Amino acid sequence: MAQGLDAQNKLNAMHNINYTRRVTFFLSGLLIIFSQGNLNGQTLKSVKPVNHTYQIPQDYLREPDKIPAFWISTVDDVTKFLKQNVHKGHVEIIGTSAGGRPIRAVVYGIPRNGKGTTTFSGSLGFGDVRAYRGPDHDKIVYMGIAAVHGGEFEGIVGMVNLIAVLETGKDLRGKEWPDITAVAGKLNRIILIPIVNPDGRSRIPLRMEAYRDTDLTVAEYLNTGGKPDGKITGWPQIKEFIPMDLTLPGFPGGYPNDAGVNIQHDNFFGKRQPETQALFDLAERERPDLIINMHTGAVHMLMHRPFCEPVLYPVFDTLFRSVLTELTLSGLQDTKDPLIEADLGRSPMSVFNLDGALNLLCGALSVVVESPSHAFSGKGQSGKIAFQTPEMLLDAQLTCHQEAMKFLSLTGGRSKWTKNNQK
């Protein structure tokens, strides 16, 4: 979860609840198994990832009475959707998670042909990134990824509906997105990964969390995990121990894979996790210009300034203004004033993470976008609760992809962004 979200009211009701976890040693292919238990009078459900069984309070696993049909977020439902609905694109398994789950990408368009003659670093030293990107350097490639953290559902839903738009012209509500359809035809290649971390997503047996007003206790517990005494691990404390020791009591949440590693902060220059390696291999092959990394954890949609080559800072500035302006004009931000919402001062600076590593690997501008949550609401600048319906959240996701793709099409990608730095 992103900083700036206050973790109010998250401990009081939980201090008298004991949580237990039993370590098991079977390696079956089951993703989730439920069993009933009782702990201090509170009914619990056990959730079983590949190697461990965890206890989660029964109330935390409560779902809304009605889940919108467009809200496709689980590993199984996404897999089924891709199998049944992708015809114009191609579904590809790009790797396997630490827990043995396939990582699927959907690709559209024609890939780059041929390779360069040097590494990306070598091309910077040479002074011309074409030496790395190859003979079709000016092709334009867009890449979107979601669910690096398995407890953040909004990006998955947005990605699935974006795929629906690319396939049919409409999202799963039947709403047309002509601008997405038009701009997609101007890009040479689109790569979309709905669930980067299927281990973390499978650990949370919910299609959709129940809405809990401004109380983020449950959403934070499911995403960043919790301890046996009910204390939420929280953000950024979840990043203190990587890898996490999954044999310790408590629920690890959706952040880590089944090896206990938060992919957003993997050991990029050491022994990488299979999910990270799959992304690296894909990025090396596709050499995308722009990568949008969808997360959840802001009051309104927010784009983080990436840790990347300084030459890309002004490119990010233009991207930020373009996306935030359209979100504002669409009524999806805190105010209706683009000068306020698209102010670069609102963009927090990222530390070195997956996006910085992807930039240094292949030269892409890789950017984290934080979405509001469907499970709770933060407060806007006026102090009022910033409630957003699932429909608004989907609109914000698709608008973000739409404007990012427009930006890429209009600016021409890496071949144009750093033209002045080439020989």
* Residue 241: both structure tokens together: 């121990």
pLDDT of 230? 63
Separation between Cα atoms, residue 218 and residue 230, nearest integer Å: 11
- Determine the distance from the C-alpha atom of residue 265 to the mean position of all C-alpha atoms in its chain, rounded to a whole number: 13
- Determine the distance from the C-alpha atom of residue 223 to the mean position of all C-alpha atoms in its chain, rounded to a whole number: 12
pLDDT of 12? 32
pLDDT of 51? 55
* Residue 113: both structure tokens together: 């042909």
> With the CA atoms of 81, 82, 85 and 91 taken in that order, what torsion angle do they form, in degrees rounded to the nearest 10?
180
* Residue 371: both structure tokens together: 């979405």
pLDDT of 228? 66
SS3 95: strand
Residue holding tokens 């559902």? 153
Separation between Cα atoms, residue 366 and residue 289, nearest integer Å: 8
pLDDT of 227? 77
pLDDT in tens, 44-65: 444 444 456 677 888 999 999 9
Instruction: Tally the C-alpha atoms within 13 A of residue 65's C-alpha that lie toward its C-beta.
Output: 0
* Residue 50: both structure tokens together: 């590949």
If we measure between CA atoms, which residue out of 200, 24, 191 comes closest to residue 97? Answer: 200
pLDDT of 54? 79
- Determine the distance from the C-alpha atom of residue 264 to the mean position of all C-alpha atoms in its chain, rounded to a whole number: 10
Helix 390-411 / helix 154-168 crossing angle, nearest 10 deg: 60
The answer to whether the beta carbons of residues 302 and 2 sit under 8 Å apart is: yes
pLDDT of 56? 85
Q: Residue ranges per domain, the chain? A: 1-423
Separation between Cα atoms, residue 168 and residue 181, nearest integer Å: 9
Q: Which whole-number Å values give the CA distances from 79 to 154, 194, 203, 237, 275, in the listed order?
A: 17, 10, 16, 32, 17
pLDDT of 108? 98
State the DSSP code for 336: S
The answer to whether the beta carbons of residues 384 and 310 sit under 8 Å apart is: no
Bridge-partner residues for 21, per DSSP?
54
Architecture of domain 1-423: 3-Layer(aba) Sandwich (3.40)
Q: Write out the chain's pLDDT in tens, 423 residues.
A: 433 333 333 333 333 333 233 323 222 332 332 233 333 333 444 444 445 667 788 899 999 999 999 999 999 999 999 999 999 999 999 999 999 999 999 999 999 998 899 999 999 999 999 999 999 999 999 999 999 999 999 999 999 999 999 999 999 999 999 999 999 999 999 999 999 999 999 999 999 999 999 999 999 999 999 976 667 888 898 999 999 998 887 899 999 999 999 999 999 999 999 999 999 999 999 999 999 999 999 999 999 999 999 999 999 999 999 999 999 999 999 999 999 999 999 999 999 999 999 999 999 999 999 999 999 999 998 899 999 999 999 999 999 999 999 999 999 999 999 875 554
pLDDT of 52? 63
* Residue 407: both structure tokens together: 């930006």
* Residue 257: both structure tokens together: 């894979």
Percentage helix, strand, coil, to 5, in the chain?
Answer: 35, 15, 50
pLDDT of 87? 98
